[in-house]
Structure formats: C-alpha cells, structure tokens
Structure 1
Amino acid sequence: MSDQLPLVGREGELRAALRALAGDGAVLLSGPPGVGKTRLAAEVLAAAPHPAVRCYATVATSRIPLGAIASLVPTDLPAIGGTILPSSSVRAAAEHLSRGGRRVLSIDDAHLLDDTSLLVLQHVVRHKLTRVVCTARPGWGAEGLTVVHVDALDRERADTLLASALGGPADASTRHLVWANSQGNPLYLKELVAAGLHSGALTETEGGWNWSGPLELSGRLAELVDLTLGRLAEPQRRALELLAYGEPLEPELMPVPADLVDMGFVRVGDDGRARIAHPLFSARLRATCPTLRARAHRRSLADRLEAEGAARRGDAVRVATWRLDSGTAESPDVLARAAEQALSAQDWELAERLSRAAVARGTTSRVGLVLGLVLMYQRQCAQAEEVLAETMAAGGDMLTVIQVGCTRAFNLFFGLGDEDAAVAVLDEVTAQELPAELEHAVLFFALTFALEAAPLRIARLGGELLIAEGGWAETAGRQVLAFADQFAGRYTEAIARIEDNHEAVLATAGRFPSLINAATGVRNESTLRCGDLAGAETRAAQALAEVIEEDRWSVTQVPPRVLLSQSARLRGQAASAVRITAEGVPESGVQPMMWDVLLLAEFAAGAALQGQSERAERALARAEAGLRPAWRIAQFAVGAARSWVLAGGGRVNEAMQAALDNAATARAHGAHSEEIVSLHDAARFGADTSPRLLELAKSRKDPLTTAYASHAQARALRDPAGLEEVAAAFTACGATLYAAEALAEASRLSRLHDRPRDADRLERQASALAESFDGATTPGLVVTSTLAALTPRQLEIARLAVAGLTNVEIAERLAIAKRTVDNHLHTTYAAVGVTGRGGLRALFGQG
C-alpha cells in the first residue's frame, strides 16, 4: 500500500480553497487531526499557478521565536531584549517572505506557530504580500484567512477511499468494520488497512477484501492513538477507562466528566448517556489497561448498576457480562437471563458465552434453547441438534418445551435437511394437549416446511385452515397464502395479501417477530418478479444494510443478496451480481444451510453470466453437494443455475434441456414462479416455450411475465418487429439484458432476411444497451455479434448454404467460381466457430 492515499471525496473543499486563494489570497484548511488537511493542502499547492514555499510548525518550534519560518527570514533581525521583535522587524520578515516573485506560502499546523511567527503571518495576510495556505485544528484562526472546513469523510466516500487503499473492493462486513472504527478519518482508515494487511487479518477473497478476526491496534495506528491519549492526566485516564468498559453509561452510573467532554474525549448523546468520542480510543484503553484494574472497573460498574436496580432492558446482560469478566459471577439465573437478552440483541458470541457459563453453574433448560439457537445461527447445526435434543429430553414447562421443539425442528429441516426428523419432533410436541394459540404456532411452523418440501396445494390448505381459526392464526394463515402466491407466480396477489395483512402482522410483532421478516421477503421478491426492479432494489438494499448494521444472523443476508444479484443480472451487471453474492458465500469447509445453497446457486448463475466458467462450476458443485431432497424451492434455484453454467461453458443445447427439465419439475410442485423463469431461459436458448408461457401470462398479467411470454412468442415466430416491441417492455421494467437480447435477435433476423439497414439500426440499439453491462455475455448476444462480423458476401453465401443449396448451386446462383464459394464457407465456419453446415444452420436458428 502506498504511503500516500489518493485524495477522495474532497472535490468541494478543493474548489473552495482554490477560489479563496485566487480571490482573497489566503486560505485556512481547518479540521481535526487525521482528516487529510495536509494532503488537501498539497493538492491546492499543486493546482495553484505559483511555486510554493513550505514550512511546518511543531510543538518544538512553538517555543522558539520565528521557529517555524526561521529558514525563510533573515537571521539578523533586530529584537527587543533578545526575543521580542519590534514592528519594524516583523515588517521586514514579512516582506522578506514575499520576495522572489509570485509564490504561495504554506504553513502546516499553524495552530502551533509561536507568537512572533503569528505576527509575521498576520502582517503578510493583512497587506496581501503573498498568497497563503495554512492548515490548523478547529478553534484556531487569524484575521484575513478564508476558512475551509475539512471534516471526516461520509460513509460513501470512506468506502471509496478504502477500495483505493486496498486496490479493490472490500466486502460489506469489512466496510462496516473499517467505517465503525475509522469514523471517516482518512489517517485512521489508512493505518487500519496497514495494520490489517500486516497482521494478515485483511485478505482478498472471492467476495472482495475481508477482515477476519478481532481488530487489534498495533504499530503506527497504536502510536497515533497513544499520542492522543497521552494528553490525559492519570485521573482522567482512569475515568475514561471506566467508560471504555461500560459505555454508554447513564449519569447515575458515571457523572459526565465535563473536562473530558471539553477535550473531545467524551460525547454525550441525546439520551444523556456518555460515550467515548472515538471507538479506537476505547479499544486502545481496554488493550492497555492492567488486568487487575480492568477487573476492578468491571466490578465497580456491576456494583453501581445493581445498586440502581438494574431494571432497564439489557441491564441483565450488562451486569452478567461485567460480573463474568471481573470473576464475580455466581448466579446461574442471572447468567441465564442475560444470555436470553444477548440473544434478543443478536449478540451471538456473548449469548453463547453467557449460556455456557450458566450451564457450567447448573441452570434451567431455557439456556439450552439459547445455546442451541446460537449454534444454529453460527451454522453449527449438528452441534445445535445435540444441544436441543438434550434440552428437549430434560423437559420443562409447556412453553419452553414447545419453543425448544420448534427450534429443533427448524434446525433439522433448514439446517440439516432432515425432513422426517423435523416432522417427528413436531409430532412429539403436539402429542400433548396444547392451548389453541400454541397449536396454531406449531402448525404455522409445519407449514413453513410444507412450502419448501410439499406441493403448494398442501401449504394452501394449511393456510386456509389457519385463517378459519381467526385471531393470530388468521394472520399467520394469510402469510402462508402470500408465500404460496409468490411461489405460484401470482405476484400481484401476493403483494396485495401482504398489504392487507400488514397491520395485523405489526400487532403480533412482539410475540411473533418472524412474521415481519417473512412478509418483507415475500413483498420484495414479488416486487422484483413483477418487473419493478428499481423498487425491489431499494427495498433489498435497505434490508441488507440493516442486517449488516445490526449484525444479525448471517443467513438473513441471503434473501436481499439474492434479490439484488438477480436484479443485477437482469440489468446485465454480471460483475455486480458476483460481488454481491460472493460477499455472503460461507467458507468452503462449512456445511451449508438451505439459504447458503440458494446463495451459492445465485453466485454460480452470476459467474456464468460473467463468463467465469470454472468459478461458476465450482459454486454449482458446492450448491449441488449441499442440496437436500427436502429443499425443493432451493432445488429449482440450483436447476436454474445449472442451465446457465452449461450455457456459459458453450453447451447451449444441454442448457436448454436443463431449463426445460427444471421448468417441468417446478410445474409439478406448483412453483410456477420458477417454471416461468426456466421456460423463459429455455426460450433464450432456442426452445419454443411460448404456448405454456402465454398460458401462464394470461392468468397473471404482471409486466415481466407478460414480457417473458411475448419474448418467447416473437422468437418462435422469428418476428423482428415483435422482438423490438418486447425489448421496449423489458426496458420499461429495467431488464436491459433481456432487452438487448431481443434487439440482437431482431437484428440477426433482419440480417438473415436481407434487411441490412434494419439490422444495423437494431444492432446499434442493442449495443447502446450493452454499453452499461459489466461483463455480461449470453448466447443471444454472442451469436448476433458473430453474424455482424461477417462480410455481406459471406453472409449471402451462408444464407444460401443454410437454405440447402450445394456449393455448385451457390456458385451458379451468384455467378462465381465454386472454389470461391468453398473459400468463403471455410472462412465463415472459422469466423463463427462452427465446423460445418449443421453448426451454421443452428447459428441461423434452423438447426
């Protein structure tokens, strides 16, 4: 990594500084340490039309009269008493600085100027003797200097700088970690990257640069933070240590230290709680605090919070954690309650630690539920099954047994793919007589399995039964039917159900929060498949950002990632699709859950679209190896990816058959959403699937399904005008890849029909759309560009050969020698990548 990062996101400040320099002639770049004032000043000086004279103020020079500018002024200036310059000497020094023609005086860290140097600077600025560029920390200024504020970078610009520093994009979790710890400070960001590269925590993966393991401050980064913390007196440092172990802290636990607030080490939020101003300060204080003192801090915090009653939400976690870390944790019940709260807060590592500590001290079965959930969330599904089976066997109150049983069944089905065992567990749970609401909750759980494993009519029947029960069951039943509508390709109906059910879902969110996530997923997926790509992308991007920001269960990233990748593929953004999915793909040694298989399949499809055949094949192999028979919906996703991996490898006929097979399997399941997509893929590979697609589109009427059917029909009819019309429909949805394919096919047909002007016009339109693609390549686009590369004579002879004429007949028809025909056909075969007339007929759509 270069010692100097590129200047990123400072265009506005640079323009403002250059305007001030050209106008008033003196500019002050003001901002906190590390934000890049010196780097920006260098850019200003480089852009200025005059040579620069640089000087640097330091703590050492601040004690010496004229210390910072001593090399630029005469050494024999008269002084009063040996140190104080009279006004005549100040004037002489200022005029000396302006000698040598038009130039720019640059002073770095001007807030450290000694008093005499400051007088000289003020004289230069007041009389405009030369242009001046200064950098300084907030709060310092001088008359006549135009101030340009230089603040920390915002999130977007910080991400851009991170990519520049690494030489490539970082994955979402790494971007979040670096942002959270740098807070947009370019110097801290640079040193974080350097520390990560040096320690090996930062490595390049398929999903971009990834940070693995904890953040450890070392090297230059630690020195920078220590330099700042070195301003603290010992009592101040101890107070800040206490806050580092407990933040945020309420005033009753720690009165707000006004001196630390004034020094910029502590900030107070709107809630009145104190926090350390920068996360790197907290990390360094904890890392350097002696062990016994750290334990004393935590013990003190626990004592103070217990004395206040520890009645707030999350207080149990704080007390238990402080007690555990200080070696004073004794109560298993306190640890158990804290483990549940940590689980609710989605702090998986802390929840596991607290639950294991509670188990070690002998506690209730509910901790087994927490531990089982945490293990499942960490993709350790086999271990989760062991813990949950043991917890379920231990018994407990009815509610706990049902929760453990449902969690165990969920893990067995979606984690291990064991449908029979999952159903057996639910049967065991319902063997006892249950209150109606609990019975309905178990049925809803069972129906989530049915939506994946059984024909959709079974899930619909279950949903109708729940609706008939009224109350919460009715809300859950409507959710099941919305799922079924989505899988059946009835997207407008699914969205309507979600909207009608919205208030009821919100009303039950406290007891059944999973309904909200499920409703969001159905709505987003249906929005995309209806053809509203922009709306779906906005929702999915927001959902993904929330999941990453809140550090939720990693598999909850899968639905928005898959949706964003699918949308990117529809737009021809193959590289973006690969990046989005690669960031979430689990490590190769991890046994994939159902959602991981979905993500791997989407990753394979994106890589195939980008032309990365080997990468696509590896991802598909992992998806197929992880697939379980119970995961039928995931099976269709893998089947769709398989057809594109085959096509990416040049096996288009096999790809077509794979798409037809996948469509038939999906149809048998009732998953017409997957059938529609695979039928359209088969049409793009050359099959005539228009009758079935027209039948499906007739009963659905959403824009994208209608466009799929029209596309298949126009291809089957070899209708250039129809293809041009459907291209407009795809463009209206945002599916520019399909629009480009339709225009390319229309161009190919026009060229074959000897309409070169139409062919060229359509080819230009297709090329204009393709300019926005980032690496997407499909058989339809390749074939058209291949034909466009032929000369008019080659195309004419090829067309006659496809029509069945022999070489002699072609020669007679065109009044040329047979050998000329032979040569043209030989050259054409090589140009289009076929070995004979059979391949040529396939290329012309007549194979």
Structure 2
Amino acid sequence: MWPFVGRVRELEDVMSALTEPDGKGAALVGAAGVGKTRLTDEVVTRLEQTGVTVRRCYATVATSSIPFGALAAMLPADMRTANPLGRAVEHLLAEPQPLTIVVDDAHLLDDASIGLLHHMIRHGHARVLVTSRPSERSELWQEGLLTRYPLGDLSRAESDLLLERALDGPVDTRTASLLWSGSTGNPLYLRELVVSGRAVGSLRTAEGIWSWHGAIELGGRLGELVQENLGRLEPSHRHALELLAYSEPVELDLLASLVQEESLDDLETRALILVESSGRRTVVRLGHPLYGSLLRGTCPELRAQSHQRALAAGLEATGARRREDLMRIATWRLDGGSPISLDLLAAAAEQAWAAQDVTLAERLCRAAVDAGGLSRVGHVFGQVLMHGRAPDQAESTLADVMSGPLSAEDLSRLGATRSMNLHFGLGDADAAVAVLDAVDVPGLPADLRDWLTVVRTLEEAQYRPAAEVLEDTYRPVAPHLSVHMRRTRALCLVHAGRFREGLEEIAGYEAEELASSDEPQEPDDGALRMRCFALAFSGRLAEAESLALTMYNRSFDELAFTGATSLYSVLSFCARLRGHGAQALRFAREGSPKTPDNPLIFDTIALANLAASAALCGDGDLAQEALARGEKARRPAWQLTGVTVSVARSWVLACTGDVRAAADAAMAAADESAELGVHSSEAWALHDAARFGVDTSLRLAALTSTMGDPLTEAYAAHATALAHAAPTALEAVATDFLRLGATLYAAEALASAARLHRAQDNARAASQASARQALLMRDFDGVRTPALRVDGLTHLTRRQAEVARLATSGLTNQQIAEKLHTSKRTVDNHLHAIYGVLGVTGRDELRTVLGPS
C-alpha cells in the first residue's frame, strides 16, 4: 500500500461524519485515480481501531444490473422472500454494532442496493461511506443522506512528498518535475509512472537520489489507464486531439480553423481538452499531459507529419505575429518534412535562445548549419555549445566562421559571442579581450560598438574589483542595450554587498524591459536568480526561498539552462542557515556538475556549495572531493565567482576537526574577498572566522556601515558578543538570527551562551539557554559545527522539548495529552521535569525563557 499523504482535512471531516452522533455518512466524489480508495482505506483502518464493525463491498459494471449485486457478499445467500429489502435489513441489523457500510464505486450500484442503503441511513441502522465518480448516480448525497466531499488532485508539494515517501528517498528536481507534469497530481497516474519506471529501469537511484532517465513510455497498465480515460474516439475527435498533441498549448482560433467546431465542443464537455485564457489569448490544452504522450505514440508517422504541416500553414496564415511563432513554425516544418528557409531557421534559433530553450536552439542551429548557414547562426550556436558544456567546440566553430570573408559588422557580432565563450566557457580572459580588441574597429555602427562595450564590461565584472567595474557600468550606451549594462551594475552592487541598491537596480531594469515590449513578458530568469542571491545574503531567507522554489518547480526543461544551477546554490545556502543539512546537501548535489570536464563559471559556485554542505553534514570525503573539483574549476577570469571556493575551504577543514586551520582559511577568504570588493563574501567569511574563534568584530562592524543589511548586522553582533564573552548578548543575537530564519546561527549563539553561563557558575541561565538551543535543533538534520559539538550542555529530551513547545503555544495539559496520544498525568510529569531543568516555576516563566512556540 502506498503512503498516505495529504488529505488531512478530508480525513478528519469524513471521520467526523462517520463517528459523531448526528453524522450519517459521507460520499467521496472525484475523478478516477485521485485517491478516493486510498483515503477510504485510511478511514476504514481508523474505524476498525476504534471498535466499529466495517463491512466493505465493491460495485462493478458486472453487478450493476443485478439486484443487491454489489452488496451480495454481506447479505444472506437466499433472498427469495416477498420482502427482500426487509430480509436484507434484518440480516444487517444482526451485525455487531456500531456498523459502517463502505461501498467503492457507488456510481455503479444497482437500484436495489441503493434502496437498501437509503433505508439503513434514514433509520440510523448504519453509517455509510461511498466513493463515486462525479455527476453519476448521486442520489445518496443529493437527497441529503450523505455529506458530499469532493476530492481533487494532490498539490505539487503533496505529490512530491508522496513520491519521496513511496520511494523512501529524495528525488531530483528534473524527475519530480517530470513526474508532476505526467501525473498533474493524480495519485494513480503517479503510482503507475513509478511502477513502470522502476520496472523498465527508467527510474533508478544513484548516491541515494532517485532520478528518471529517458522519456516516459506509456506501456502496460499506465497506457491502459490513459486509453481508458480517453475512451472511444470518433475520427473527428481523434483528429482534433492529435493536432493538439503536437501543438499544445495552441490558440483556439488556430485549432478551430483546422477541425470541426462541434468536435471541440464535445471534447471540452468530456474534459478531454481544456480551454483557458492566457494573457489576451484563448488557448487550448489536452485534458491531461499523458494524453499527448499516448496520442503521439500511436499516431502513424505520415499522419503526424501531415498534422504538423497543417499547423505550420495555419499559423503562417494568421501572420505569425507573436514572438514565439517563428519557433513553432520552424519546429512544425522540420518535423513535418516541409521545406524551410535559412532566414526562418536563423530567426527561430535566435528566438529559441532568447527563450532559453537550449534544446530547440541547438536543433535549429544544427539545421541551419546543415543548410550552409553557419555564418548566420554562429553567434547563437556558439552560446548554445558553451552552455551545452562544449566550449572547446564553440571556440573551434566560431574561429572557423570568423576566418571566412565576412563584413566588419558580422565579425563584431561573432567576435562578441566568441569572446564570451572564451571568457565564461574556457576562462581565458586574455584571449577574450584580444578577440574584442580585434573586432572593435573604426567605422562600426554605434549600436555594435556599444554591444562590444557591454560585453567587455560584463566580462570584467568577473575578475576586476567590483567597485571599479561598477563605475564603468554608467557609460552611456544605446537605449536598447542599457538593460544589459544595468544587469552588470546590479551584479556589481550585489557583489559589493549593497543589496538594497542591487534589488532596486534589478527592479528598474525589469520595468525597463517590460516597457520596451508590446507583448506580455515573462520575468527575466537572470534577474530572478540575482534577486534570489541578494535576498538570501541580506537575510531575507523566506523571500529568497520562495522565489527560488517558484523557479525550481518550473518545468524540468527550463532547468537545463546552465545558469539555473545557481538556484540550487541559493536553496542550499538557505537550508544550511536553517540547520537543514540533508536538504542543503541534496540541493547542492543536484546543482553540481556531474562530470569534471569543461567546467563553466557557474560550476565553481555549485562545487563550493557542495563542499560546504557536505562538510556541514560531516561527510568529509565528499567535502574534500567537491573542494578539489572546485579548486580545479577555478580560472583567473572568474576571480569574483571563485571566492566562494575559498570560503568553502574553511568548512572542509573544520569538518576534519582542524578548527585552527579553518579559522586561518576563513580569514584568508575574507582578505581575498576584500581585495576584490566582494563584501558579500567578505562578511560571510568573517562571520565564519568568528564562529571558529577569531575576533572579527571590528571588521564586521565596519562593513555594516556600508552594507546595512540585517544579516551582516547580526554577523557583527554575534562576533562582538563572542569576542566579549557576553552570554546575555549572545542570547539577544540568537533572537535576531531567529527573526531572520537563520536557525543554525541562533542555535550556535545559544550554545556559546550556555557554555559561558556555565563557566560563570550560572547553572539556571545555562540550562535555559541550552533548552532554547534544544528546541531550535529539534528540526535540524545531521548538521555538525564546532559550536554545536560542545560537550556538557543540558538538553531537554525530545519528548520534553515537544511538551514544552506545546505548552508555550497555549494548550492545556489535557489538550497536549490528546495531541500526543498519551495521558494527562504523563504530561504533568514531563512539565514538572522541564520546570526543574530550566529552573522555572510555571508556564509564564517557561514562555519567557523559551519564547512563544
């Protein structure tokens, strides 16, 4: 049986309907596969545990025409009487009481069975629970006999939780997104995807993390379920659905021009298609993503090509006015075997790259290259190859193209791409500058000259001091290029620790981009990622996590874009500050490059996060391996990014137990960061050094005057309290960290406070600080830091901590006992022990010491 996830409210409601004095029963109503039976299983288990007699039966198509057919198993074999209903009631009344009758698929019940259930409910002889499809045989609840509880699909969070519990381990992002897109929260589909994936080896585990390999294949039971939901299709219906399978989401007008209008009406009525608004458009989607997989898999090749040619022709006939239209036409023409011009391929490739659809951009570029148009798409192809971890191939390709007879304008465009590949892909700053110098010749159009200036400034932002490059970002450039310069400016501000200004700059250029377009624009992913870093490093952890998770939960295809790996770094950083070691390590593993070859600029950040997260969890081997890879991946061209590796080095040393070496490494990282003007990393490293025993209070205090964010201020206060050995100040610092969500730092501050209180012979204060620390650490997961390894702390037991937390939330002892499924006397004894450990006399003092729950 699969784990029971979600449905907490529904479970409680149904139990109330079946157990409270005025309850008659419940009807769980929902589409196939939403988990009606699994919820019913949980209800039945609970009822039987309370001593209720449960009789369960299953209605089927075969029994739907037989009187009492569904209930036959619980009725006498001989029903040949003048009053079969009365005989059935008499038999059921002989059952041990109280009695609950449970019927699965009640929409298939025969009339006699419905009549019997009516009688039992109306006369109070039994409680009844049924499951049913919607809009079918609803007499039992429409007449008020049963309370109707609609059951929908699981949420994304519930689906992910169910997946991890079913597999008994974490699942990587791409896999969770793939299975979510395939099941859309339908537990039955999710289960069959997992079963079939494991059976054929598509779903397997490596290093403790489950991942899916290849595409979803709709075979076996899963294919049967999808086909069953599609049902029998008329030719016109299949034609419409197949067109949609190759185009969704597609404009209603385009689809309507290719199919019969009544077919669309019928399909919408049957919920096989969904019609919805998208901006100023009305678009159509299939009723479930797996319908598309089945329809494409069963569509003959020639018919599939015909569909795609028709879609391309239909869209071209409308004028192809939207930004993504060229990509769609080019894709349909390629797949439909239609002729396609080089102009269309080149324009579509640019659109695909702008939309960060790396897979499509590469396909279109290769098609253009095959058609002899390498010079037309070289500037896109080079970037595609770089992000595809083939910077060597990109350099070779671009060098070959630039050696041919090209205009100065074409050379400058290709040179800019080649320079970025040399810089960000190969880490060769000198070669990158040389290429820019070579193509920056007199007579270039002003916008091309400005573009070369933008590229030069962007590259310099990775190896020159942040303050110097920041000044360069104010150089005037063409209006349509100012957004790129403002992005670099925002990056410099974030590096410099001027987070508020950085966030304002990001908001400013986002507004500029929106104002410059006539069409609705999706938020710029680069801006969103930079905003995540600024929020996280300034102490706005909840906002950073929320934004990063929103991006993290997008379709897995979008996560293929290399820059998206930085999201994992943000999530890993936030998890570490919260003391969630296993989660931090999971995010760091997912975001790190899987092969040591061809590291890119983002890989240094990812590997540094992996090293730090592994060290925090005590996995010294993994931490040292990740650090070694991070060191190897560093390039002189990426100095500002590379400081993250230096910061991580101190934690890898601490993991081995050499705290003195860790402190020296943290100070070296702080000095390196200061020299480059990366004050965000400097503050982080200085705080680490303070945690390792170095007095960095003066340097951190100086940084707060220029940075001014709450996390750096808390860093400085923590370092000052440690330097002055002030336990009361440390307790105040813990409160500040807790307010920001940095629970790990709060627990460390309390651990230090408890040690100092004990050294000063203040046992009561030490116990109180230690108890607060224990409460904070109840949700920690495998974290190990020098401050938390101090021996001799007096902690509450896990159960005592739980009782104390509930007591401070305002619950009575009896309510606590009910919540913990124990006796009130046991709770009384726990609280008496807690008061003794903490040296308090009652709940008011307990709340003062521990704070509200």
1:355-395 CA-to-partner distances (Å, cap 9, x unmatched) read 22232223363323333332223222222223333344446
State the Cα distance separating 1:503 from its structure 2 match. 4.2
CA contact (8 A) 1:723 1:742 kept: yes
Amino acid in the other structure paired with 1:370: V
CA distance 1:17–1:437, shift in 2 (3 Å)? same
TM-score by length of 1: 0.84
The residue number in structure 2 matching 1:536 is: 544
Worse-superposed segment, 596-605 or 169-178:
169-178
Please state whether the residue corresponding to 1:106 is helix, strand or coil.
strand
Query: Would you say 1:780 and 2:787 are equivalent positions?
Result: yes
Distance 1:75 1:738 in 2: 70
Aligned ranges 1:424-439 → 2 under 5 Å: 424-439=434-449
The residue number in structure 2 matching 1:209 is: 210
CA distance 1:495–1:360, shift in 2 (3 Å)? closer
State the Cα distance separating 1:297 from its structure 2 match. 2.8
Aligned ranges 1:674-823 → 2 under 5 Å: 674-782=681-789, 784-785=790-791
CA distance 1:108–1:559, shift in 2 (3 Å)? same
The residue number in structure 2 matching 1:41 is: 40
Amino acid in the other structure paired with 1:241: E
Distance 1:526 1:571 in 2: 17
Which residue of the other structure, out of 57, 61, 64, is the alignment partner of 1:55?
57
State the Cα distance separating 1:647 from its structure 2 match. 0.5
Distance 2:409 2:522 in 1: 17
Query: Would you say 1:331 and 2:341 are equivalent positions?
Result: yes
State the Cα distance separating 1:581 from its structure 2 match. 1.9
CA contact (8 A) 2:593 2:603 kept: yes
Aligned ranges 1:577-588 → 2 under 5 Å: 577-588=584-595
Alignment root-mean-square deviation, CA: 3.1
Amino acid in the other structure paired with 1:785: D
Distance 2:467 2:26 in 1: 73
1:138-158 CA-to-partner distances (Å, cap 9, x unmatched) read 112114233221111121211
Amino acid in the other structure paired with 1:7: F
The residue number in structure 1 matching 2:425 is: 415
State the Cα distance separating 1:188 from its structure 2 match. 0.4
CA distance 1:630–1:255, shift in 2 (3 Å)? same
1:407-443 CA-to-partner distances (Å, cap 9, x unmatched) read 2222221121111121122212312433333323321
1:780-820 CA-to-partner distances (Å, cap 9, x unmatched) read 221x325879xxxxxxxxxxxxxxxxxxxxxxxxxxxxxxx
Distance 2:538 2:10 in 1: 44
Distance 2:536 2:284 in 1: 44
State the Cα distance separating 1:213 from its structure 2 match. 1.8
State the Cα distance separating 1:462 from its structure 2 match. 1.7
State the Cα distance separating 1:626 from its structure 2 match. 1.4
CA distance 1:669–1:304, shift in 2 (3 Å)? closer
Worse-superposed segment, 626-635 or 253-262:
253-262
Please state whether the residue corresponding to 1:231 is helix, strand or coil.
coil
Distance 2:230 2:740 in 1: 55
Aligned ranges 1:223-234 → 2 under 5 Å: 223-234=224-235
CA contact (8 A) 2:569 2:591 kept: no
The residue number in structure 2 matching 1:169 is: 170
Distance 1:515 1:449 in 2: 23
Which residue of the other structure, out of 627, 635, 648, is the alignment partner of 2:655?
648
CA contact (8 A) 2:770 2:793 kept: no
Query: Would you say 1:137 and 2:147 are equivalent positions?
Result: no
Query: Would you say 1:597 and 2:596 are equivalent positions?
Result: no
The residue number in structure 2 matching 1:620 is: 627
CA contact (8 A) 1:376 1:411 kept: yes
Distance 1:484 1:295 in 2: 50
CA distance 1:509–1:518, shift in 2 (3 Å)? farther
CA distance 1:387–1:558, shift in 2 (3 Å)? same
Instruction: Give identity over the alignment, percent.
Output: 43
Query: Would you say 1:16 and 2:13 are equivalent positions?
Result: yes
Aligned ranges 1:21-100 → 2 under 5 Å: 21-22=18-19, 23-48=22-47, 49-74=51-76, 76-77=78-79, 88-100=83-95
CA distance 1:699–1:239, shift in 2 (3 Å)? closer
CA distance 1:737–1:311, shift in 2 (3 Å)? closer
Amino acid in the other structure paired with 2:131: T
Worse-superposed segment, 694-703 or 190-199:
694-703
Worse-superposed segment, 519-528 or 193-202:
519-528
Distance 1:765 1:129 in 2: 54
Distance 1:699 1:301 in 2: 58
Please state whether the residue corresponding to 1:367 is helix, strand or coil.
helix
Distance 1:500 1:361 in 2: 42
Query: Would you say 1:253 and 2:258 are equivalent positions?
Result: yes
Aligned ranges 1:667-678 → 2 under 5 Å: 667-678=674-685
Distance 2:272 2:524 in 1: 40
Distance 2:112 2:158 in 1: 39
CA contact (8 A) 1:94 1:121 kept: no
CA distance 1:125–1:781, shift in 2 (3 Å)? closer
CA contact (8 A) 1:506 1:516 kept: no
1:264-284 CA-to-partner distances (Å, cap 9, x unmatched) read 322222344332211111101
Please state whether the residue corresponding to 2:154 is helix, strand or coil.
coil
Please state whether the residue corresponding to 1:486 is helix, strand or coil.
helix
Amino acid in the other structure paired with 1:488: A
Please state whether the residue corresponding to 1:785 is helix, strand or coil.
coil
CA contact (8 A) 1:656 1:682 kept: yes
Distance 1:434 1:204 in 2: 55
1:123-171 CA-to-partner distances (Å, cap 9, x unmatched) read 4444444332222111121142332211111212111111111112212
Worse-superposed segment, 616-625 or 324-333:
324-333
Gaps of at least 5 residues in structure 1 are 80-85, 790-847
Query: What is the total number of aligned residue pairs between the two structures?
Result: 774
Worse-superposed segment, 473-482 or 730-739:
473-482
Worse-superposed segment, 748-757 or 620-629:
748-757
CA contact (8 A) 1:486 1:494 kept: yes
CA contact (8 A) 1:332 1:359 kept: no
Worse-superposed segment, 444-453 or 550-559:
550-559
Please state whether the residue corresponding to 1:33 is helix, strand or coil.
coil
The residue number in structure 1 matching 2:843 is: none
Please state whether the residue corresponding to 2:131 is helix, strand or coil.
strand
Amino acid in the other structure paired with 1:612: D
CA distance 1:10–1:680, shift in 2 (3 Å)? closer
Query: Would you say 1:367 and 2:377 are equivalent positions?
Result: yes
Q: Which protein has the larger Cα radius of gyration, Structure 1 or Structure 2?
A: 1
1:638-668 CA-to-partner distances (Å, cap 9, x unmatched) read 0110110010111112111212222222222
CA contact (8 A) 1:690 1:709 kept: yes
The residue number in structure 1 matching 2:219 is: 218
State the Cα distance separating 1:223 from its structure 2 match. 2.1
Query: Would you say 1:378 and 2:383 are equivalent positions?
Result: no
The residue number in structure 2 matching 1:458 is: 468
CA contact (8 A) 2:413 2:448 kept: no
State the Cα distance separating 1:309 from its structure 2 match. 4.5
State the Cα distance separating 1:234 from its structure 2 match. 4.8
Distance 1:248 1:729 in 2: 48
State the Cα distance separating 1:207 from its structure 2 match. 7.8
Please state whether the residue corresponding to 2:129 is helix, strand or coil.
strand
CA distance 1:146–1:666, shift in 2 (3 Å)? closer
Distance 1:195 1:515 in 2: 37
CA distance 1:44–1:771, shift in 2 (3 Å)? closer
Aligned ranges 1:555-566 → 2 under 5 Å: 555-566=562-573
CA distance 1:435–1:37, shift in 2 (3 Å)? same
CA distance 1:69–1:459, shift in 2 (3 Å)? same
CA contact (8 A) 1:585 1:599 kept: yes
CA distance 1:215–1:590, shift in 2 (3 Å)? farther
State the Cα distance separating 1:8 from its structure 2 match. 1.4
Amino acid in the other structure paired with 2:185: G
Distance 1:363 1:499 in 2: 38
1:651-701 CA-to-partner distances (Å, cap 9, x unmatched) read 112111212222222222232332222222222222233343333334444
Distance 1:42 1:351 in 2: 49
